[in-house]
Chain A
Amino acid sequence: MKNDKPRKNAFLMFIHKMGSPPWFYNFTGKFVPWLWAGFTVLTIWGLYLGLFKAPPDYLQGESYRIMYIHVPAAWMSMLIYIVMAVMGFIALIWRVRTMEIMAMNSAPIGAAFTLIALVTGSLWGRPTWGTYWVWDARLTSELVLLFLYLGVIGLYKAMDEPRKAARAASLLALVGLVNMPIIHYSVKWWNTLHQGSSISMTGSKIDPSMLWPLLIMAIAMKFYYGANLITRSRITLLEQDLRKGWTRDVIEGTAGEHKS
């Protein structure tokens, strides 16, 4: 047999393998406990530093500490959306089922982070700005993000056939990408009550003693996303493939014993 296919590099091979449900299930299974452990350790460490060790703010006193929840949650709300849209894009063009599942399982996690960012922001706004809510560009575009997530979840649940539903919802997710630059640049493009970004490519406007807990919490939340997403996606795979051979192997605990 003539081998006229171009040789795939290691990265493409990895992507290709991730598309295989049994391989995906077994491969990601190795990481799940470590991701949950990393999340737990980093969160405890970050919250301890942020709530007990970091000094109070010169202007806001102690109330600024809600930043250690609010800012990582707001960052995650946007990061997860972008990751979801990219996975949706791959799912739409290459029809990779594991990607469809991961994109769809990202939506509830992202929606939760968006809600946390909105609620903590609101609670922070009352003592600092003097109001729970204003319709400025930053707050409004973040609320639109929550509706986009709910739209993706709703569309996915509304259709009977999960693969078609995932692709339809992925398209919605891709269209919603337009909101990402609006959220990010809203504080620059328009006058808003929300202040500008403290952390940007050019540096940080947060004193180093207050910055470290924030960065640790930001990494902790990425671990949480990874752990939660993989845990959810493996369950979805099992549910969808309930009648298939590899699932039986997993349930009976014989996966990987015959044919490696």
Chain B
Amino acid sequence: MTPTRKRRLIAIVLILAGVGVAATIAFYSLQQNLLYFQSPSEIADISMPPGRQFRLGGLVKPGSVSREQDGLASHFIVTDGPAEIAVQYVGILPDLFREGQGVIARGTLNEEGIFMATEVLAKHDENYMPPEVADALEKTGHTVKSAE
């Protein structure tokens, strides 16, 4: 490699190293702000005050969904295993909203600790399979399909 090329190489490597260091620092300082949602355990840990808006993410607890007879209000529990939070939402739930599936809800906690959601999004996982495969897995005791 000629000296000129070596000089260019060193300059580029230095620039890239600088950008890399800057990005790493930004990464560590922004870590918390880049979370799109927080789990019920995380909310419990920081004892989120009522009235502050945040996004709650977790699984819809099987058997916890109930809809009011008149109107669009629905109630369900979002869980991540160790902790759970009751959610109330008035509006149309997305098609993929199922018991046992992931959801992300935006809203605030009220005084009773119930999460009043203003928006509910369905989160789906990285698994794709035909219905027959899902049925077969279900029969062997895997929980893929939730109670519909």
Contacts and interface: CB of A to CB of B under 8 A. Distances in A.
A205 interface: yes
Contact of A191 (B57, B101, B132, B145): B57
B126 interface: yes
A134 B121 contact: yes
Contact of B121 (A93, A129, A178): A129
Contact of A92 (B12, B23, B34, B36): B12
Interface stretch (B13-21, B59-67, B69-77): B13-21
B142 interface: no
Nearest to B125: A195
B130 interface: yes
A127 B95 contact: yes
B122 A130 contact: yes
Given A178-B20, A191-B37, A210 B94 contact: no
B139 interface: no
A207 B5 contact: no
Contacts of B16: 174-175, 177
Interface in B95-109: 95-98, 101, 104
Interface stretch (A53-61, A102-110, A231-239): A53-61
A205 B127 contact: yes
Interface in A178-222: 178, 182, 189-193, 195-198, 205-207, 209-210
Interface residues of B, number: 45
B144 interface: yes
Nearest to A199: B126
Interface in A43-88: 55-60, 64, 67
Contact of A193 (B8, B121, B145): B121
A26 interface: no
A58 B144 contact: yes
Interface in A135-183: 135-137, 171, 174-175, 177-178, 182
In this complex, which of B36, B38, B129 has the most chain A Cβ atoms within 10 angstroms of its Cβ?
A: B36
B120 interface: yes
A207 B129 contact: yes
Contacts of A198: 126-128
B14 to A, nearest CB: 12
A56 B121 contact: no
Interface of A: 55-60, 64, 67, 89, 92-94, 127-131, 134-137, 171, 174-175, 177-178, 182, 189-193, 195-198, 205-207, 209-210
30 contacts: A57-B130, A58-B134, A58-B144, A59-B96, A59-B101, A59-B145, A127-B95, A128-B96, A128-B124, A129-B94, A131-B119, A134-B121, A135-B36, A136-B36, A171-B15, A175-B16, A178-B20, A178-B23, A182-B27, A191-B57, A192-B36, A193-B36, A195-B125, A198-B127, A205-B126, A205-B127, A205-B128, A207-B130, A209-B130, A210-B128
Given A129-B94, A130-B120, 18 more contacts: A55-B132, A58-B129, A58-B130, A58-B145, A59-B134, A60-B96, A94-B5, A129-B122, A130-B96, A130-B122, A178-B19, A191-B38, A193-B36, A193-B104, A193-B123, A195-B123, A195-B125, A196-B126
